[in-house]
Amino acid sequence: MTFNRRAFIGTSAALAATLAAPMVRGQGKPRVVVIGGGAGGATAARYIAKDSKGAIDVTLIEPTRRYYTCFFSNLYLGGFKQMEDLGHSYGGLAAGGVNVVHDWAVGVDRAAKSVSLAGGGSVPYDKLILSPGIDFVEGAVEGWDLSAQNAMPHAYKAGSQTELLKAQLMAMPEGGTFAMVAPPNPYRCPPGPYERVSMVAHFLKANNPTAKIIVADPKPKFSKMGLFQEGWADHYEGMVDWIGEDFGGGNVSVDPGAMTVTIDGEVTKVDVANVIPAMKAGRIAELAGVTDGNWAPVNAADMSTKADADVYVLGDASSQGDMPKSGFSANSQAKVCANAVRGALTGSKIFPAKFSNTCWSLIATNDGVKVGATYEATPEKIAKVDGFISQTGESADLRKATYEESEGWYSGITSDMLG
């Protein structure tokens, strides 16, 4: 991460703000509270603070002091990135005028308009933006619950889980078996399950070439399926056994004690099991009472929830229509939301919503592919307008350029989110 001039000048004051406890400000400035410092929340906080030029009091509540991106975390598994490449501080946000509070938000009182914190105390808001990411649906994979996440990691929140999965991958015996239980739709992506399969295969091909990968998938097909299957055949012939819905891939149970995975009645002893259960909105959205089923329905024009016009939900946790649950999407939605929230609180001009997304995946060294689309807000949902996808059989030069582009995007989005 690079620090620009203004961020550098502001750092010392900003650090003080980071450490200060949240306080109620009495000057009557409108208050925005953002919960969750990922691609949605960090972007919303930064843009509201930046564009309101101090007219809005912005507080970001995020428990971790260092943010590890889910995007590119598969590349860490493949050996293309180091964990420190994925880590970012919140110093840039603080320098940009956001009051960063490192604590857990444990409750939302929508009547009193305040958020309670695990460390005690509460933070009042005029507008509340929730960007909590995902949690897992209990009982989604028979035999697995969060207490099994060390034996069978999900690695779907980047950081220690990703490191654990990598350590298990490195410790696999020669010719061993890596199993993945893939999630049903809709799922957070990145870290995409199929890019992960590619990166695990890349690692094994170099370090443990007789090892096998089994993927049990409850879906009959998946995003970029043709591109991935072409890539697996080209680079990792015979290594990946993808078992889709048609072959019983959805009929799965696991035994973390015995390290077995049972697919459609067939028990397999495995060396590593990466279990990615069905997902739902991060818990604070449910506690705030803005979810319906697993996700929080929102209005496409401004990302406000159907349940409460003063509570917004961004990114993975929202149910918005056609956009995938990617960091790029969350970043895009955050900008629409920031513009609308600022307009509502200060009377600044509200421009019409525009959304876009592009997802890059790495299949092997310099073999990058991408899929993307643009979207608009309709009364019903965020609706896809136009899209594109990489083609099978593309030249090696184009695939390399696509990978390099994804690295450029990584620099772009992280500085756009965090300053």
Partner 1 sequence: MRLILQRMLAVVGLIVATASTADEFGDPKAGKKVYRKCSGCHQVGEGARHRVGPHLNGIFGRKAASHEGFKYSKAMVRAGDNGLEWHADTLDSFVENPRALTSGTRMSFPGLRKQKDRLDLIAYLRQFSDDPANIPEADPTASPVDHDLDPAILALEGDPEYGEYLSSECKTCHQSSGGDDGIPSIILWPEEDFVIAMHAYKNKKRPHPVMQMMAGRLNEEEIAALAAYFATLDNE
Give the integer Cα–Cα distance in Å for 365 and 377: 38
Sheet strands side by side (includes 57-61): 99-101, 57-61, 31-35, 127-130, 311-313
398 touching partner 1, by CB under 8 A = yes
415 touching partner 1, by CB under 8 A = yes
Contact 67, 418 (CB under 8 A): yes
Closer to partner 1 by CB, 14 or 413: give it. Answer: 413
| Alpha carbon distances (Å) from 212 to 74, 179, 201, 251, 276 | 18, 8, 8, 20, 18
Residue numbers 324-343 binding partner 1 by CB under 8 A: 328, 331-332, 335, 339
Beta bridge partners of 71: none
Closer to partner 1 by CB, 40 or 218: give it. Answer: 40
Residue numbers 342-371 binding partner 1 by CB under 8 A: 349, 351, 354, 356, 358, 370
Contact 261, 271 (CB under 8 A): no
Write the CB contacts of 223 (distance below 8 Å, at least 6 apart in sequence).
Answer: 189, 192, 194, 324, 359, 371
409 touching partner 1, by CB under 8 A = yes
Total residues at interface with partner 1 (CB under 8 A): 40
Long-range pairs, 165-173, Cβ under 8 A, ≥24: 165/77, 165/272, 165/274, 166/76, 166/77, 168/271, 168/272, 169/77, 169/200, 169/203, 169/204, 169/272, 170/203, 170/207, 172/204, 172/208, 172/211, 172/271, 172/272, 173/271
Q: Which of 14, 22, 37, 47 binds partner 1 (CB under 8 A)?
A: 47
Q: Which of 11, 372, 383, 384 binds partner 1 (CB under 8 A)?
A: 372
CB of 161 to partner 1, least distance (A): 26
Residue numbers 5-24 binding partner 1 by CB under 8 A: 5-6
388 touching partner 1, by CB under 8 A = yes
CB of 18 to partner 1, least distance (A): 21
405 touching partner 1, by CB under 8 A = yes
CB of 286 to partner 1, least distance (A): 29
Pattern of binders to partner 1 over 122-161, x per CB under 8 A?
----------------------------------------
Interaction site with partner 1 (CB under 8 A):
2, 4-6, 47, 51, 328, 331-332, 335, 339, 349, 351, 354, 356, 358, 370, 372-374, 385-388, 395, 397-398, 400-401, 404-409, 411-413, 415-416
